[in-house]
């Protein structure tokens, strides 16, 4: 997208830093379109059908029709704003490139996928949608950066109208984020005494261990006993693991295969053993990258003209610290 104020800048290049506009302290519009809009939307569109197909086979365990209606209302409003942006890009004289149009189309498609994912995740999962919440959180950060760029670059009435709609979509995404983060424990059709609060916690509560606060407060006032602890998560309960173990043992017997204890244990516990590995590898990688980025950043700061890449290094280092 070519803004009139930055017509002589390198906004149509991959940059990543813009030169000749916005004080040389920003990403180029093309870079933001590719990596802040197009790439996340494409990943979400490709991944969400698998999650929806998995949820469809699950039984309905959550009611709360008003909360679901509020979520769907926010999602439909957001999709309408994305559609409005697509119409503006294609109709008004923005000088939009194929990347701009594809990015807007994918954002609209991602909004439609969010509607289906939110609908099924609300009624069939005991916890707030981790996948959708993570997508909303990270794309919200990306959209904030893009909104700043658009407001700094907008000067004509069509550009300001587009930026205003983009900002409205950003505000609607904040509302969607808050609605999707709402816990559903009070509406679940089960006995809460038999389940841990961890089973109904979302990505933010799990990330900061907020679900343990009540237990910490009780432990501050008295010595905790076995009865004070939360029930074990049903996914790792001995009964369920025993059923899986027996299933693999019986399957090996029916097929006439030699029964190896280690092989059966690996099949039973494969998913719980594999899931922490990517996150742990990513954490190790980020920790090892920190001193390298600090060294590179200080070298850039010592140069006579550090501006072109300074913003890129600061944002990358901040992202590494957050993810680590």
Q: Residues 179-211: pLDDT tens digits? A: 999 888 888 877 777 778 888 888 888 888 888
Q: How far is CA 70 from CA 118, 130, 140, in A?
A: 11, 18, 19
Q: What is the pLDDT of residue 7?
A: 64
Q: What is the pLDDT of residue 70?
A: 93
Residue with tokens 């190896």: 260
Q: CA–CA separation, 115 vs 78, rounded Å?
A: 10
Cis bond before residue 16 (omega within 30° of 0): yes
> CA nearest 114: which of 132, 126, 97, 141?
132
Q: CA–CA separation, 138 vs 145, rounded Å?
A: 11
Q: What is the pLDDT of residue 80?
A: 94
Number of CB atoms found within 10 A of residue 62's CB: 22
Q: CA–CA separation, 103 vs 32, rounded Å?
A: 10
Q: What is the pLDDT of residue 317?
A: 55
Q: Give the pTM.
A: 0.79
**pLDDT more than 70, % of the chain:** 85
Considering the chain, what is the average pLDDT of its residues? 81
Q: What is the pLDDT of residue 107?
A: 93
Question: What is the token pair recorded at 133?
Answer: 């919440």
Mean pLDDT of 2-7: 64
Q: Residues 247-299: pLDDT tens digits? A: 777 777 777 666 667 777 777 777 778 878 887 887 787 777 777 777 776 77
Q: What is the pLDDT of residue 291?
A: 78
Residue burial 172-205, b: 16+ Cβ < 10 Å; e: rest: bbebbbebbbebbeebbeeeeeebebbbbbbbeb
Q: Is the pLDDT of residue 306 over 90?
A: no
pLDDT band at 175 (very low <50, low <70, confident <90, very high): very high
More confident residue, 95 or 111: 111
Question: What is the token pair recorded at 240?
Answer: 């369920």
């Amino acid at each position: 997208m070519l803004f009139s104020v930055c017509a002589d800048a390198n906004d149509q290049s991959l940059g990543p830093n813009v030169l000749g506009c916005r004080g040389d302290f920003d990403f180029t519009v093309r870079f933001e379109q590719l990596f802040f809009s197009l790439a996340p939307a494409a990943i979400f569109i490709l991944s969400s059908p698998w999650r929806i197909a998995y949820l469809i086979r699950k039984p309905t365990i959550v009611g709360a029709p008003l909360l679901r209606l509020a979520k769907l209302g926010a999602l439909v409003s957001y999709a309408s704003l994305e559609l409005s942006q697509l119409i503006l890009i294609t109709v008004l004289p923005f000088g939009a490139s194929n990347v701009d149009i594809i990015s807007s189309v994918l954002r609209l498609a991602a909004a439609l996928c969010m509607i289906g994912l939110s609908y099924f995740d609300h009624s069939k999962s005991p916890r707030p949608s981790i996948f959708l919440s993570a997508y909303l959180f990270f794309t919200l950060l990306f959209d904030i950066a893009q909104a700043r760029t658009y407001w700094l670059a907008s000067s004509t009435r069509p550009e300001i109208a587009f930026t205003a709609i983009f900002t409205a979509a950003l505000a609607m995404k904040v509302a969607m984020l808050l609605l999707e983060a709402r816990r559903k424990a009070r509406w679940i059709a089960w006995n809460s005494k038999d389940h841990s609060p961890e089973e109904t916690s979302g990505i933010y509560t799990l990330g900061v261990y907020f679900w343990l606060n009540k237990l910490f407060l009780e432990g501050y006032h008295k010595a905790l006993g076995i009865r004070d602890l939360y029930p074990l998560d049903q996914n790792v309960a001995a009964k369920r693991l025993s059923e899986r173990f027996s299933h693999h043992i019986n399957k090996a017997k029916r097929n006439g295969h030699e029964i190896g204890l280690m092989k059966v244990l690996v099949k039973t516990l494969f998913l719980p053993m594999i899931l922490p590995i990517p996150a742990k590898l990513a954490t190790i990688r980020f920790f090892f990258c920190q001193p390298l980025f600090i060294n590179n950043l200080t070298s850039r700061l010592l140069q006579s003209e550090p501006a072109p890449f300074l913003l890129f290094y600061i944002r990358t280092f901040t992202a590494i610290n957050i993810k680590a």
